[in-house]
Structure 1
């Protein structure tokens, strides 16, 4: 699939990519990244993960310690296993057993998210509208147990049931993490669709690269990105291959449903989606 190039906008504004309706019309599934995209889990997850990460680093003799914000910037879009191995290798400790720490981080984060996340009404409404003409699936780097806790806490169990959740940690023969496209390839194969029939929605650069690498048309979502980081994130998502960037699930629903309904001038609406 060829990704349309971005059209420059006035100086100081975001790039505005052109998204022909022909890329939306074949879509049968909405492939949703989970953390930071369906629910605002990134900040609370890193609060819990940072404690485990710093304990892991201490256990292998690495003096570096991270704040939750530092770790979030270093690791967003990747799972703990990938992050821990990368941090250890960068510190000159390449051969470490991270599996006990993977289990501990999963336990700590899952417990924390299950008690802190809440349903987000506008997101549930928009996803409910999208679930009419499309099927919804989750494609995540996170473990299935973590997804289960988050989906229950945020009221998403009926919209995206367990059978349509795919994890780079648990669903693949060998665990990996985005930006590896393996989890998107696996999800498309399991759902019985060609990549161009799955529209991916991602909030992180690693996720966009994963989806685009698998051949899925991809939209960036800024809904739960911190306001002060949105402009830079939008540029980064477009540079990574996102076709456009939206600021809410309702904005995505308005754009996608207009195309699927064959409404006139839907291509004009899509062209102006990124601001």
Structure 2
């Protein structure tokens, strides 16, 4: 039977990618790099900031890279004051609470952003367990964040379910052996299915998700 749920944050609990795209676009434009949504989706979305900056702005020193990242995330927070949970997300959390399921946040978001977003979503008290990419030896797409989350909750992968919107997130969860539901806020459904998602839905209100949750005893890796 299902014992635990794991949630990504950006693009999963809230549709934040349009805001991240705007922040990246503005700051990269200052440095002469113009990006569009396809570039953002394929080169930036779901990845760790240091890896993105190292690839896109290799001339920056480590100090300049950190300053750029801080500016980008500060701009994101300025844009994100009106965040709302993705449709149905609170219903899933309430459903999990009502059945005594464990759950955790597993995100590549910087810790300051993660806590800011949870506060904006009024979920700051919801997640007693959080695994953030910058706090472990490797972030997504490496499976390590999910392996750490499984260990912290004391559950097996086969009795868990993960929710992810990005290819890197799906790779991470699937790589840890966790059945994964793709949230198609940022990437085409077929991309997430190709990477191993069991189901891809637009949001948590999708009736197919509730069929899956109610028959979760039959989940297999």
Q: Do these two structures clear the TM 0.5 threshold for a shared fold by scoring above it?
A: yes
- Assess if the C-alpha contact under 8 Å between 1:46 and 1:71 holds in 2: yes
Confirm or deny that 1:217 pairs with 2:182. no
Aligned equivalent of 1:148, options 79, 102, 115: 115
**Deviation string, structure 1 residues 154-202 (Cα, Å, up to 9, x no partner):** 23234x32x3121102x21x4x432122211221222222332331111
Name the counterpart of 1:187.
149
CA displacement at 1:70 relative to structure 2 = 3.4
Q: How does 1:114-153 map to 2 (within 5 A)?
A: 115-120=81-86, 122-133=88-99, 134-153=101-120
Deviation of 1:136 after TM superposition, in Å, equals 2.2
Q: Taking structure 1 as reference, are residues 237 and 135 closer, same or farther at Cα in structure 2, changes over 3 Å only?
A: same
Higher alpha-carbon Rg: 1
1:116-164 Cα offsets, whole Å, 9 max, x none, are 3134563322331233222221111101211111122123234x32x31
CA distance in 2, matches of 1:200, 1:123: 13
Which residue of the partner structure matches residue 254 of structure 1? Answer: 210
* Residues 234/120 of structure 1: CA separation in 2 closer, same or farther (3 Å cut): closer
Q: Give the deviation of 1:34 after TM superposition.
A: 0.8
- Counterpart mapping for 1:1-275 below 5 A: 25=1, 27-55=2-30, 58=31, 63-67=32-36, 70-88=39-57, 93=59, 96-97=61-62, 98-113=65-80, 115-120=81-86, 122-133=88-99, 134-158=101-125, 160-161=126-127, 163-169=128-134, 171-172=135-136, 174=137, 176-222=138-184, 224-225=185-186, 233-251=188-206, 253-260=209-216
* Residue 40 of structure 1: how far off its partner (Å): 0.9
**What are structure 1's unaligned runs of at least 5 residues?**
1-24, 268-275
Aligned alpha-carbon RMSD (Å): 2.6
Q: Tell me how far 1:214 sits from its aligned partner.
A: 1.6
Q: Structure 2: any 5+ residue segments left out of the alignment? A: none
- Report the Cα offset of residue 99 of structure 1: 2.2
Secondary structure at 1:116 match in 2: coil
Confirm or deny: 8 A CA contact 2:167 2:192 kept in the other structure.
Answer: yes
Structure-2 change in CA distance of 1:210 and 1:187 (3 Å): same
Aligned residues: 216
Q: Does the C-alpha gap of structure 1 residues 68 and 51 become closer, same or farther in structure 2, counting only changes over 3 Å?
A: farther
- Equivalent-residue separation in structure 1 for 2:172 and 2:28 (angstroms): 24
Distance 1:149 1:111 in 2: 11
Q: Is the 8 A contact 1:201 1:218 kept in 2?
A: yes
Which shifted more, 115-124 or 40-49? 115-124
TM-score for both structures, normalised by structure 2: 0.84
> Is residue 183–residue 200 contact of structure 2 (8 Å, CA) maintained in 1?
yes
